[in-house]
Homo-oligomer: A and B are copies of this chain.
Amino acid sequence: MRDVAVIGVGMHPFGKFEDKGLKDLGRVAIWNAIKDAGISPKDIQVAYSGNSLAGLLTGQEGVRGQTITRDAGLAGIPVINVENACASASTAFRGAWLEVASGACDVALAVGAEKMFVGDLGKSIAALAADSDIELARMGLQFAGMYAMALKKYMDLYGATQEHFAQIVVKNSHNGSLNPDAQFKKPLTAEKVLGSFVMADPITLLMCSSISDGAAAAILCTKDLAEQYSSNVPVEVAACALRSGIWQAPGKEFLEDDIVTLTAEQAYQQAGIGPADIDVAEVHDAMAPGEMMLYEELGFCGKGEARFLVEQGRTRIGGDIPVNPSGGLVSRGHPVGATGLAQVAEIVWQLRGEAGERQVANPKVGLCQNTGGYVDGDAAACCVTILKV
- A127: chain B residues within 8 A (beta carbon): 61
Q: CB distance B85 to A62 under 8 Å?
A: yes
CA distance A374 to B67 in the complex (A): 9
- A21: chain B residues within 8 A (beta carbon): 133
> A58-76 toward B: CB 8 Å interface, digit per residue (1/0)?
1111111011011000011
Closest chain B residue, CB of each to CB of A58: B132
A133-B67 CB under 8 A given contacts A77-B243, A83-B62, A244-B79: yes
CA distance A60 to B64 in the complex (A): 17
Q: CB distance B80 to A91 under 8 Å?
A: yes
A66-B244 CB under 8 A given contacts A55-B61, A56-B55, A81-B83: yes
Closest chain B residue, CB of each to CB of A262: B76
Count the copies: 2
Q: CB distance A75 to B244 under 8 Å?
A: yes
Query: Of B103, B128, B133, B375, which contacts A66 at CB under 8 A?
Result: B375
CB-CB contacts below 8 Å: A69-118 with B: 69-70, 75-85, 91, 94-95, 98-99, 101-104
- A60: chain B residues within 8 A (beta carbon): 131-133
A376 within 8 A of B: yes
A245 within 8 A of B: yes
CA distance A290 to B79 in the complex (A): 23
A380 within 8 A of B: yes
CB-CB contacts below 8 Å: A323-354 with B: none
CB of A75, distance to nearest CB on chain B (Å): 4
Q: CB distance A246 to B381 under 8 Å?
A: no
Closest chain B residue, CB of each to CB of A337: B62
Q: CB distance A373 to B63 under 8 Å?
A: yes
Interface size class of A (residues with CB under 8 A): 35 or more
* Binding site secondary structure of chain A: mixed
A11 within 8 A of B: no
A139 within 8 A of B: no
- A372: chain B residues within 8 A (beta carbon): 62-63
CB-CB contacts below 8 Å: A244-297 with B: 244-247, 262
- A76: chain B residues within 8 A (beta carbon): 243-246, 262
A242 within 8 A of B: yes
Query: Of B1, B77, B82, which contacts A104 at CB under 8 A?
Result: B1
A136 within 8 A of B: yes
A368 within 8 A of B: no
Q: CB distance A63 to B75 under 8 Å?
A: no
Q: CB distance B78 to A64 under 8 Å?
A: no
A172 within 8 A of B: no
Q: CB distance A80 to B246 under 8 Å?
A: no
- A104: chain B residues within 8 A (beta carbon): 1, 98, 101-102
Please name 7 pairs of A and B residues whose Cβ atoms are closer than 8 Å in the assembled complex, sorted by A: A21-B133, A52-B61, A62-B83, A63-B84, A66-B375, A69-B244, A81-B82
**4 pairs of A and B residues whose beta carbons are closest in the complex:** A55-B55, A102-B102, A63-B373, A62-B85
Given contact pairs A55-B61, A76-B246, A98-B98, a sample of 12 additional A-B residue pairs in the complex whose CB atoms are under 8 Å apart: A62-B373, A62-B380, A63-B83, A64-B83, A66-B381, A67-B133, A76-B243, A79-B84, A79-B244, A81-B84, A82-B83, A102-B103
